[in-house]
Structure 1
């Protein structure tokens, strides 16, 4: 039985006359953590915007649960945490979580909110405080809790570790493993490649709008002949830079 929840086929995109995605092909499976790896400007955020219906592709096909991404039933199963997460400051943390869930027609029990807060080393009492009093790390934790508690089948997380210390990152990874264990699918981007190596089942390495590798982190390291995901990625960057220099010569 096919357990694919997302397929991207020949996806191209541009800003004005500048092509930024060059025929991407991706498939993501149910209950999988799928990582998008690349430098700033590589095309990761553009891809995410297209998946969310925030930008149009120039060509290519996208299917989510076998449907077009604009289908109402599809939209109701995707929750997104942006890299620059800034919730309404006039709400308390608990109000924001409740509001986020209600957008998807779901209710969240206060006890559940507090359990997730504790699991991220966030004092449950802060859920009663206005978001404007939160630090960046606290806001990031709040955003992750709210995203998870929408109950959506697909979570798209853009730099979810941003602003978090090593302890908080470890706690986030534990929560993401729990979410995956519930049968939900996680698509995430991160510049912290050690974390990606640890939690991702498969990855796509995107550089200059092209996928240079798609597969398991261990497969990527083996193909590049490197011991770490970071060194493997740098291998790609250096190789492409050398090819560009030769072309320009």
Structure 2
């Protein structure tokens, strides 16, 4: 059984074909990275997976259930690229609200552990989000998805706004989360991060999925010294 499966997804905006016949799957305990230039359709695909945007053709299943099914939604935790929680809430209040959506109680001890892991001062949760920096807000969003313990995380540019030490901490946490049998789907244009932690990648270019497989297989197909150089070769830049 696939944790996530997309079949022949197509999406057009006016006369522009953004996604064309996109198909891929993610297995349990796998980290899958979606790679592509900015504005190429990564976020559009994620919105379709989450049923936030209707595709023109194709279907998406989450744990073998249609992505329109409420049961599917309860198995996913999502962090958008532009994470903007209410500035009037305190960090702790946001986490309590987020857990409530899943029918879970807020666990202060787990939140403190995650704060320490991701480099956010635990006391910051008692401050209003309006006083957070971009990096602090991103860490709060990441803490919220990890607290759900959802078996599938969908993260759109999760490294956004993080300094180098926080990026390292997040990569360690993602690897740990995967080790517990969970699956992670995330998009990024930081190819070094993709290469380091992803079991497989999908490369989108000009509306199509031009590759699905491991980073090593991609570099073998487009010979180069790094995933970044292989990517540039694949898209003819």
Match of 2:153?
A: 155
Query: Aligned partners of 1:66 and 1:122: how far apart in 2?
Result: 36
| Residue segments in structure 2 that go unaligned for 5+ positions in a row | none
Distance 2:43 2:100 in 1: 26
Q: Is the 8 A contact 2:38 2:189 kept in 1?
A: no
Task: Report the Cα offset of residue 90 of structure 1.
Answer: 1.1
Q: In the alignment, is the contact (CA less than 8 A) between 1:41 and 1:208 conserved in 2? A: no
* In 1: Cα distance, 2:154 partner to 2:97 partner: 19
Partner in structure 1 of residue 227 of structure 2: 229
Q: Distance in 2 between matches of 1:149 and 1:44?
A: 25
Distance 1:142 1:71 in 2: 28
Take 2:23 and 2:59, find their aligned partners in 1: how far apart are those partners? 9
Structure 2 counterpart of 1:110? 108
Residue 98 (structure 1) shift: 1.4
> Could you tell me whether the CA contact under 8 Å between 2:87 and 2:130 is conserved in 1?
yes
User: In structure 2, what is the equivalent of residue 183 of structure 1?
Assistant: 181
Q: Which residue of 2 aligns with 1:197?
A: 195
Pick aligned residue for 1:127 from 122, 125, 128? 125
Is residue 158–residue 189 contact of structure 1 (8 Å, CA) maintained in 2?
yes
Show the counterpart of 1:243: none
Q: With structure 1 as the length reference, what TM-score do the two structures score?
A: 0.93
Q: How many residues align?
A: 237
Match status 1:146 vs 2:166: no
Counterparts of 1:209 and 1:95 in 2: how far apart (Å)? Answer: 40
Q: Which of 145, 170, 173 is the aligned partner of 2:171?
A: 173
TM-score by length of 2: 0.97
Q: Give the distance between the partners of 1:16 and 1:75, measured in 2 at CA.
A: 29
Aligned partner of 1:220 among 193, 218, 221: 218
Distance 2:109 2:15 in 1: 51
SS across alignment from 1:238: coil
Tell me which moved more, 147-156 or 158-167.
Answer: 147-156
Contact in 1 for aligned 2:40/2:205 (Cα 8 Å): yes
Give how far 1:151 is off. 2.1
Partner of 2:86: 88
CA distance in 2, matches of 1:61, 1:87: 30
Paired residue secondary structure (2:77)? strand
SS of residue paired to 2:61: strand
In the other structure, the counterpart of 1:244 is none
Secondary structure of 1:8 counterpart:
strand
Cα distance in 2 between the residues matched to 1:181 and 1:228: 26
Task: Map Cα deviations across residues 98-128 of structure 1 (whole Å, 9 max, x no partner).
Answer: 1111101111211110110011111111011
Query: Deviation of residue 223 (structure 1)?
Result: 1.1
Determine helix, strand or coil for the equivalent of 2:144. helix
TM-superposed deviation, 1:95:
1.2
Matched with 1:60 is: 58
* Runs of 4+ residues over 4 Å off in structure 1: none
Distance 2:122 2:192 in 1: 29
- Bigger-Rg structure (1/2): 1
1:16 corresponds to 2:3: no
Q: Note the residue ranges of structure 1 that are not aligned, 5 or more in a row.
A: 240-249
